Structure 1
């Protein structure tokens, strides 16, 4: 009898240890809305059921287990019923959570407002236009890492490259990570010592060294692994998207969005809360979405926002209509990009009819921090067509186009596209008019590209001159100081005029006549205001 008790205790202990190890490794949320929780329960029930059958078979001296044997024991029948009951709830919950039976609820998950393009999207200066996409940023980050002899052998660059606004400027930030497990063993005491910050407008790449290393990251192990650290602090939270950001002082944080399911058991996913985890100390702060600090840029991932808009656009007349009739059904195009506005990051994507993929009926901007969404009815070319037009302009060079940014150029909706060579580096820029996509201009610099674009608009009957007067200004004065610098391989002259505190930036490539001027000369030029320096658009002779 005592021997049997010992065996039962050993088996129970082994089961508990196995369950604990499985939980420690897989880290399921203890939440009925989490599918991994249900799978965890199914696994436990299955293990207990099998152990119970084996035990009963051993007592009965059965070497072969058949259905008739299971029917003989009430405990086994109860186990089967419990398992089937859980399975039935899971299946029913999945069906009742789907858009098939809840189309109206899915369609209302996202609130969309009508926007006015010229009022909401102001023309921005050149030093605020994010010229780099994620792939180009990755190339710059890896090059920067390769130049650091003291770190290159121990660390490598993570592929996160989160786009954020840092002190009003669009930047991408990404942490370093341990090169391998051995490097983690030798460096984990000090932690990850730095992160990389890339200015997306100037392409300046900086390795930011920390006074104390990051010790809570996805690249650590055991209790310092970020997901495990979060799970043990918040066992019921279903973490959806985790991004890397820095606050206004440059302190690294993990922004951990917590999923909230609005429809049934598993449907209608949005974001309910946000946990901010200090990457250095591991300190966590839990916020409701409305209370998240303003420096945080990414609460809702771009993929989630796009999915919510697709529900909004396609389910207006029910699920069946979205599949068969497709009346009034809209969907997003096959890509997105980011705009920095009002110190927030907005996801931009085009909107097209499900039944036609040749043109856009408009576009949407979706705020990654607040989920605020605005729709702009601007008919025109889809992004793919604009990209093809831009590539066609430089087909002799073989450059490839990045997914466009949407800019306001003299009140004209304009696709701005970076053109990259085979190595992934940005070599030229293109502007394509959204509504008249045959208007395509290219240039080696942004200023040259815009100058060519505005000339093309005039040639094609678009009244750019009138609209230009709001943003393009004229200055006349005596040169008090003039100096030169090389920016992105091109020479620029920076001018100070007497009794004028502004700095004026002249691209020598675009305006070679500037070399004729010196201190004391009188000069007249047109310019556009910028954050750090005004960009000269033309010099009067």
Structure 2
């Protein structure tokens, strides 16, 4: 009996020890918290997330952080055969906070969706109906149009620094070119980047010496050395990293990107658009302002969209403005209409180009129905500085169909068309593009009628391509005599001499006037030239040529 009583007392003591409620935090918890704090600081410095509840990444970071706090409250002294709970008094509240944060986050995601906020998504952009003849200046010549795409800019940009051994050995040209209006001329600008961590460490005191400026009209690139070195760069490390520098200066701002631009004096600045949500907590993000950072000094300044300096060109990104147009085009009739009925739904085409007009950079993109056919119902122009957007109801080929038409004209050469720009030729919407070889070099130019994309003209120079295009327009009855008189150089002449010369199995007619000016035309294009004789008075419509021999478009006898 005595032995049995002693055993019962011993068993009761064991239960009392192992079944006691969760205790206080111990030294291992303090160590865990210390490690967590250090880890959080390292993460914040490395990733530099925006401290803003409208950022989904911030919510993910907070949920993980609270979960790790809960982990740090566990009783690390409990052994595997121990019947005590590893949870302490602080573990359960942390777990509930994680659950509540996840639930609230999911609810906010749903509340921010297009299903519940279709009208807010659709109203982010205000679309005006534009007049093509009025808004798009007529191009009487096309040798002043920027046709270079980014891939070509990269090629000639690399050449600009290739001969500078002290530059090319330490730095590399960024592949991110910004299209800007620089003192009234379209330009592309790219920064130099450190060529790796070791090169950064070797040059961090000297900084980056300059940038590359590309002229897309003349197909020229120049390396520009700045008066002060560029210190803050996306390719720099530690405190000199541009992203980290700007985000830490404005820790609650959600940045959309960082774009290099030049002010009117040629000084580099990074334009950093700031986003805010307009639908629920996370949805329909749009630009509310920009932070302008001087990469040479690190100085930053915030501007509202309405107060941005005029030299700034890229407040809105091209992808963002096209996305906003898609929201407008698809959700104006409501969410369910965008899913099932599709009545009146439209969207932008797969790509876009840049057009510099009146001191601003505009994004051009075709607009097509959601059915995804190969034709456009119109096109849109969107100002990247002000957000002004216009829609033009011009039905015709979408850009890739026009590119295929141009490539078909030179299929024997295997040239590939770049994404086109949109110009106005005598009131006719026209695609213009370059044709490149496999090495990315520009070999020819092409013009395609937007509405009748079987009308295609190609040639090795811009002037000759335009002359050929004007001839096609006249032959197809798209250019009246009056419009030709207004738009195309023309002259009343007296024929002093006329000759027929065979070259490469083609007969050309050369007409010389009383002042010695020479005009030529392929005889097969206008056999009525056979009736012209010396002494005749004729009116000739022509395209000026660099060699002094003008290309005849049309002749009136």
Q: TM-score range by the shorter chain?
A: 0.7 to 0.9
User: For each residue in 1:205-246, what CA deviation from the matched residue of structure 2 results, as whole angstroms up to 9, or x when unmatched?
Assistant: 111011221000101111110011012110000001211111
| Higher Rg of the two aligned structures | 2
- Of the candidates 355, 375, 381, which is equivalent to residue 397 of structure 2? 381
User: For each residue in 1:11-51, what CA deviation from the matched residue of structure 2 results, as whole angstroms up to 9, or x when unmatched?
Assistant: 43322211111110111111100111111111211111111
**How do 1:103-122 residues align onto structure 2 when only pairs under 5 Å count?**
103-122=118-137
Aligned: 1:63 with 2:84: no
**Which residue number corresponds to residue 94 of structure 1?**
109
Q: Is the 8 A contact 2:25 2:73 kept in 1?
A: no
**Which residue number corresponds to residue 409 of structure 2?**
393
Distance 1:452 1:74, change over 3 A: same
Distance 1:14 1:74, change over 3 A: closer
The alpha carbon displacement at 1:154 in A equals 1.1
Q: Is the 8 A contact 1:447 1:537 kept in 2?
A: no
Look up the SS of the partner of 2:256 in the other structure: strand
User: For each residue in 1:231-267, what CA deviation from the matched residue of structure 2 results, as whole angstroms up to 9, or x when unmatched?
Assistant: 2110000001211111111101100000111111110
User: For each residue in 1:487-537, what CA deviation from the matched residue of structure 2 results, as whole angstroms up to 9, or x when unmatched?
Assistant: xxxxxxxxxxxxxxxxxxx99999xxxxxxxxxxxxx997889xxx9x996
Q: Is the 8 A contact 2:173 2:192 kept in 1?
A: yes
Distance 1:302 1:99, change over 3 A: same
User: For each residue in 1:406-448, what CA deviation from the matched residue of structure 2 results, as whole angstroms up to 9, or x when unmatched?
Assistant: 1001110000011000000111000000011110000111111
Return 427-436 or 41-50, whichever deviates more: 41-50
2:98 and 2:166 map into 1 onto residues whose CA distance is 57
**How do 1:346-361 residues align onto structure 2 when only pairs under 5 Å count?**
346-361=362-377
- Of the candidates 246, 256, 265, which is equivalent to residue 230 of structure 1? 246
The alpha carbon displacement at 1:78 in A equals 1.6
- Of the candidates 85, 93, 106, which is equivalent to residue 100 of structure 2? 85
**Which residue number corresponds to residue 491 of structure 1?**
none
1:8 and 1:356 map into 2 onto residues whose CA distance is 59
Aligned: 1:408 with 2:424: yes
Aligned: 1:441 with 2:462: no
**Which residue number corresponds to residue 165 of structure 2?**
149
Distance 1:11 1:233, change over 3 A: same
Look up the SS of the partner of 1:378 in the other structure: coil
Look up the SS of the partner of 2:311 in the other structure: coil
Distance 1:328 1:202, change over 3 A: same
- Of the candidates 259, 273, 276, which is equivalent to residue 243 of structure 1? 259
**4+ runs deviating over 6 angstroms:** 506-510, 524-529
Q: How many matched pairs?
A: 488
- Of the candidates 42, 50, 75, which is equivalent to residue 71 of structure 2? 50
The alpha carbon displacement at 1:4 in A equals 8.0
2:412 and 2:69 map into 1 onto residues whose CA distance is 68
The alpha carbon displacement at 1:86 in A equals 0.5
User: For each residue in 1:30-84, what CA deviation from the matched residue of structure 2 results, as whole angstroms up to 9, or x when unmatched?
Assistant: 110011111111121111111112x2x52xx342799x947x7553222221111
**Which residue number corresponds to residue 19 of structure 1?**
40
Look up the SS of the partner of 1:129 in the other structure: coil
Q: Is the 8 A contact 2:256 2:275 kept in 1?
A: yes
1:476 and 1:281 map into 2 onto residues whose CA distance is 62
Mark the runs of 5 or more structure 2 residues left unpaired by the alignment: 1-23, 494-517, 523-538
Q: Is the 8 A contact 2:174 2:190 kept in 1?
A: yes
2:130 and 2:270 map into 1 onto residues whose CA distance is 32
2:549 and 2:481 map into 1 onto residues whose CA distance is 16
**Which residue number corresponds to residue 340 of structure 2?**
324
Aligned: 1:453 with 2:469: yes
**Which residue number corresponds to residue 235 of structure 2?**
219
2:541 and 2:315 map into 1 onto residues whose CA distance is 41
Aligned: 1:280 with 2:296: yes
1:64 and 1:457 map into 2 onto residues whose CA distance is 91
Distance 1:174 1:442, change over 3 A: same
**Which residue number corresponds to residue 49 of structure 2?**
28
Look up the SS of the partner of 2:257 in the other structure: strand
TM-score, with length taken from structure 2: 0.83
Q: Is the 8 A contact 2:520 2:552 kept in 1?
A: no
2:133 and 2:398 map into 1 onto residues whose CA distance is 20
Distance 1:4 1:91, change over 3 A: closer
TM-score, with length taken from structure 1: 0.85
The alpha carbon displacement at 1:285 in A equals 1.0
Q: Is the 8 A contact 1:176 1:192 kept in 2?
A: yes
Distance 1:83 1:368, change over 3 A: same
Distance 1:65 1:389, change over 3 A: farther
Look up the SS of the partner of 2:115 in the other structure: coil
**Which residue number corresponds to residue 308 of structure 1?**
324
Distance 1:186 1:127, change over 3 A: same
Mark the runs of 5 or more structure 1 residues left unpaired by the alignment: 478-505, 511-523
Look up the SS of the partner of 1:306 in the other structure: helix
Distance 1:29 1:528, change over 3 A: farther
Look up the SS of the partner of 2:73 in the other structure: helix
Q: Is the 8 A contact 2:130 2:390 kept in 1?
A: yes
2:325 and 2:418 map into 1 onto residues whose CA distance is 23
